[in-house]
Amino acid sequence: MKKTLRYNFRLKPTAEQEAKLVEFGSYSRGLWNLLLSENMRRYRYDKTFLFYHEMAGLIRDLKKFDEFSWLKAFDSAASQQVARDLEVALKNSFTKGRLQRFPRFKVTFKQKKLHDDSFRCVNNSNCIRIEKGAISLPKIGKVPIVLHRKLASKIKTATVQLKHGKWYISLTQEVECKSAKQVLSTLVGYDINSQHTVVGSDGRYAKNPKFLKSSSIKLKQIQVQLSRRKKGSNRWQKSKARLNKLHGKISRQRLAFAHLLSCSIAKTSDIIVFEDLNVKGMQQFNGQMVIDNVMGLITSLTKYKAELNGAVYHEIGRFVKSSGICHECQHEHKFDLSVREFTCEACTTVQCRDLAAAKSVADTGEKDLMASGIVVRALPKFQQKSPSKTKVFEQSEFGVGSEKKEAA
């Protein structure tokens, strides 16, 4: 099975190339707004939309007029991609169960290097390729690129964007997933909380690095400096750029930490069980803590990396209780978030709250997977005469599975 993945790389364009990238970003934004306004006009007139082929025909017709000569300077494949993206956005906006409203117009900031325009190129006839530390882009040329990893396959699309004062390119490629493991020997449940990013039922944990908190002093200094500058002045622009740069650094630190942690989780477990957390709801109460703890990012990254390694990823129900449950006798307790260790009222076992929650997540995930027939408990030949009890799992065929005898 193949999976389309997106890899981000840093670009280091020359001054001339950077001006061209900015120009292409503005063309993409202008074309989006033009096609969106035409769709809104059509909808007001007869309640219909322009589909991709109609928008592509409109772009061809507009190139004939002098006032739209900038469309000729823009890459034709990139302009067609704008039409495709708008068609998808319109379909998503007016699907049943969503708010019936149009996508937003794209706007840009007029300050220097604060714009966030982007454009996407399609690799037709191998027009996008990497040679000698530079990537070739249509109508732009060879732009120096920082390759931090080897390419897995042929490039499908390339999206160029300016983030926090630095140019990045996002390349999509098709990656071959490993075949699903038939024998799954390890099942680990993970609990996500405010103190630790994740705590595994196998006893491993990762502390929350709190990148935002570690940079809070420097952030406050720049924010105070920015408040004392006259808005729009050169000194205000410099302070704003410094603040933007620092936020970009914090964002990259979080992403790097999430990638390293999710990669470690995906490679060391055959069955991975997480909680289905309502991250958006949690952000309403303590948004800074939730964002700094990369709660939602960890689960999404672990999911696709588990699929690449042939492992099984599962999330237990959102409303299933996991915290405060004794992992020895399954007795439920109620206590405040400040309590990190507790003694079970039934069996008097002293245990860590986070570790007990992770073990509860693992037990619930095991029951869910066996009930749905995704895995069945099996006994390998080399463990048939083993005196110790060992849980070993294997994938069942087409959702049909029955629990076999546990190793005795």
pLDDT tens for each residue of 327-377: 778 777 777 766 777 777 778 777 777 888 888 888 888 888 888 777 666
Q: What is the arithmetic mean of pLDDT over 226-231?
A: 90
Q: What is the arithmetic mean of pLDDT over 384-391?
A: 44
Q: What is the arithmetic mean of pLDDT over 92-121?
A: 72
Can you read off the two tokens belonging to residue 16? 């001339």
Q: Quick one: pLDDT at residue 283?
A: 65
Q: Is pLDDT above 90 for 282?
A: no
15 Cβ partners below 8 Å, 6+ apart? none
Q: What is the arithmetic mean of pLDDT over 391-405?
A: 41
User: Looking at 51-55, 90-94, 303-307, 373-377, which range is the least confident one?
Assistant: 373-377
Q: What is the pTM of this model?
A: 0.74
207-221 pLDDT tens trace: 888 888 888 899 899
Cβ count within 10 A of residue 341: 11
| pLDDT band of 203, cuts 50, 70, 90 | confident
Q: What span, in angstroms and rounded, lies between the C-alpha atoms of 238 and 217?
A: 19
Q: Is pLDDT above 80 for 161?
A: yes
Q: Quick one: pLDDT at residue 81?
A: 92
Q: Is pLDDT above 90 for 144?
A: yes
Q: Quick one: pLDDT at residue 209?
A: 82
- Tell me the CB-side half-sphere exposure of residue 398, using CA atoms within 13 A: 0
